[in-house]
Structure 1
Amino acid sequence: MSDVWSLGIQRLLARLNSFYHPGSSKSKCKPFLCETRQIGWIREDAAVQLRQYPKVFIEHPDRFVLADHLNTYDNRTEAVANVLNDMRAKDCLKPLRGWRDELYLVKSAYNNSPLFAIERAAAGVFGIRKYGSHLNGYVIDDDGTWRMWIGKRSPTKQTFPGMYDNLAAGGLSHDLTPTECMIKECGEEAQLPKELIEGKLKAVGAISYCYEDDDGIHPEGQFLYDLELPTTFQPKNTDAEMEKFYLMTIPEVKEAIIKDDFKPNCATVVLDFLIRHGFVTPEQESNYFDILSQLHMPGQ
């Protein structure tokens, strides 16, 4: 790999894992706990607002916790929702302007029972890990050439408008498994018929990272899927999430992921695909091991 490409990948991964880098807010954040288990991070801009609700959020010198009387999934969900609705009405936190009426489950680990549910737009305020499902759709031509379907996000999207994306992807809401979420997004974002999905959609792993921005702290985990498609297939968007789709060669994809044209986490999903299918190897890339490590960062 060229030095330019390697440096581009390092910049991409540094951006996606910015919470762990020098100059981040990590050293000044307080862990957010429920039932003695850490579920997120509280930054000072959020702490200023949460201190107005001491019956729900208790601040200690080294942590924030949910009040002890909130001891069930339902009463935690209700109490947190009441606080968020009040803060939204006061317009005191910018992320709440992006309210989606979509709930995420809050867990200390993916395989643990949910502790409560929270509005998607507020997850970054509490540094709560979010999950999603992403699809790498690809074709193999008769001459053995591999190409990948890359979407371009709608210019009206609330986040990362007009940037490159995976063929289909979506956040994991409270009522769906990763595969159910992936199948749903395949239909909505690329109009993939069931006969192309059933028995062919492959769960191939996951990536994890944590970045921060003006909207908060974002530990995220993405479940990854591959789907080989016939060369005759043409994706069509049905939910206005995507503006257009491009069928790119592997060299074109490699070039695109080191530019700012890609939504960063989607570029990383593509990078994982390139590594798994041997288009990036230890012999070609001197930072191979470091790249793999940065694709699987802890959330806490």
Structure 2
Amino acid sequence: MSDIWSLGIQRLLSRVNSFYRSGSSKSKCKLFLCNAQQIGWIREDTANQLRQYPNVFIEQSDRFILSDHLNTYENRSEAVAKVLNDMRAKDSLKTLRGWRDELYLVKSAYSNPPLFAIERAAASAFGIRKYGAHLNGYVIDDDGTWRMWIGKRSKTKQTFPGMYDNLAAGGLSHDLTPTECMIKECGEEAQIPKELVVGKLKSVGAISNTYEDQDGIHVEGEFIYDLQLPTTFQPNNSDAEMEIFYLWTIPEVKEAIIKDDFKPNCGIVVLDFLIRHGFVTPEQG
């Protein structure tokens, strides 16, 4: 079983970091810079579209640069939004069909000031890092057995429909801190009462990954939270993003991970939980 487990975990980790594997488009991508800071990667499919907007995006040998005349957060955000709306009207990039009307902040690092805001659906086309907050919800039975709450995504979700997910998770929009985002998602995705969340939610770190698919390059940073819940708690979804919730034992969770049934970034959040709490060690898988 340990060999099967190891191969399954290797497959998961390769999948979530496919951009850095041999055969990816990385060697052919151009850097994307703003204010002399790298903020993303541009594949050729996106580059072909950006060349139509030379007043906004300047192409050099190995990079695209947001034009220097765009020198404030406001005018950069406005100029990029106009380009994206034009691309969307022309159906230039497939990823824009998933338009969210949700803005993400663009930064060279999380702690740096934002350079501009961009529509969430466009982030992968520019290889811009997206941030999210993910919750590992768990219970400990009276006999000491640990179990985790796992959600199954709706079959109508735009991304990864029908796959397993964390109890609650969401992208970090421009107006929320990670903890504010996590509290919001706890209410929206699992209907966890605030009295079970506020003051009990535990920030346990962050992980990052970069993968590539037909929509673009997904550079992700996930802020991770743990929350021990009462055994009497039952999650319910209020925004139709989850189909059902399961309360699984740790062996059941581990089996689902190696069967590739998890949304990949949620799978590594769960793997991080299992490692931190001693359910996965170098000696036993």
Distance 1:50 1:23 in 2: 24
TM-superposed deviation, 1:116: 0.0
* Structure-2 residue corresponding to 1:30: 30
Q: Please list the CA deviations of residues 245-285 of structure 1 after superposition, one character each: whole Å capped at 9, or x if unmatched.
A: 00000000000011121111111100000000000112225
Partners of 1:194 and 1:89 in 2: CA distance = 41
Trace 1:123-202 onto structure 2 (pairs within 5 A): 123-202=123-202
Structure 2 residue identity aligned to 1:146: W
Which amino acid letter does the alignment assign opposite residue 128 of structure 1? I
Give TM-score scaled by structure 1 length. 0.94
Once the two structures are superposed, residues 192-212 of structure 1 have per-residue CA deviations (whole angstroms, 9 ceiling, x without a partner) of 001111211000001100000
SS of match in other structure, 1:95: helix
Compute the displacement of 1:165 (Å).
0.4
In structure 2, the partner of 1:298 is none
Deviation at 1:146, TM superposition (A): 0.2
Secondary structure of the equivalent of 2:260?
coil
Could you give the per-residue CA deviations for residues 44-94 of structure 1, whole angstroms, max 9, x where no partner exists?
010000000000000000111000100000000000000000010000110
SS of the residue 2:234 aligns to: coil
Establish whether residue 5 from structure 1 lines up as the match of residue 37 from structure 2.
no
Cα distance in 2 for partners of 1:107, 1:174 equals 11
User: 2 CA distance for matches of 1:163 and 1:68?
Assistant: 43
CA distance in 2, matches of 1:72, 1:199: 37
Residue pairs, 1:36-51, within 5 angstroms: 36-51=36-51
The letter of the residue matching 1:198 is: V
What SS does structure 1 have at the residue aligned with 2:78?
helix
CA distance in 2, matches of 1:159, 1:12: 17
Do residues 275 (structure 1) and 272 (structure 2) align? no
1:284 aligns with 2:284: yes
* Alignment coverage as a number of residue pairs: 285
Paired residues of 2:137 and 2:148 also in contact (CA < 8 A):
yes
SS of residue paired to 1:170: strand
- Per-residue displacement from partner, 1:107-140 (whole Å, max 9, x unpaired)? 0000000000000000000000000000000000
- Which letter maps to 1:143? D
Q: Distance in 2 between matches of 1:234 and 1:10?
A: 33
For 1:205-220, list aligned pairs within 5 A: 205-220=205-220
SS of 1:223 mapped into structure 2? strand
> Structure 2 regions of 5+ residues with no counterpart?
none
What is aligned with 1:203? 203
Residue in structure 2 matched with residue 222 of structure 1 by the alignment: 222
Distance in 1 between the 2:195 and 2:34 partners? 43
State the partner residue of 1:99: 99
Single out whichever of 135-144 and 276-285 deviates more from structure 2: 276-285
Q: Distance in 2 between matches of 1:197 and 1:61?
A: 50
C-alpha separation between the residues in 2 aligned to 1:107 and 1:117? 9
How big is each residue's C-alpha offset from its partner over 1:150-189, in whole Å with a ceiling of 9 and x where there is no partner? 0011111111111110000000000000000000000000
TM-score normalised according to structure 2 size = 0.99
Q: Would you say 1:257 and 2:257 are equivalent positions?
A: yes
The C-alpha deviation readout for 1:22-51, integer Å capped at 9, x for no partner, is: 000000001100011000000001000000
- 8 A contact 2:183–2:198 mirrored in 1: no
- Is it true that 1:114 corresponds to 2:114 in the alignment? yes
Q: Spell out structure 1 runs of 4+ moving beyond 6 A.
A: none
- What SS does the aligned partner of 1:132 have? strand
Amino acid paired to 2:262: F
CA distance in structure 2 between the aligned counterparts of 1:258 and 1:16, rounded to whole angstroms: 14
After TM superposition, the structure 1 stretch with the greater mean CA deviation from structure 2, 276-285 or 87-96, is 276-285
Counterpart check, 1:243 vs 2:243:
yes
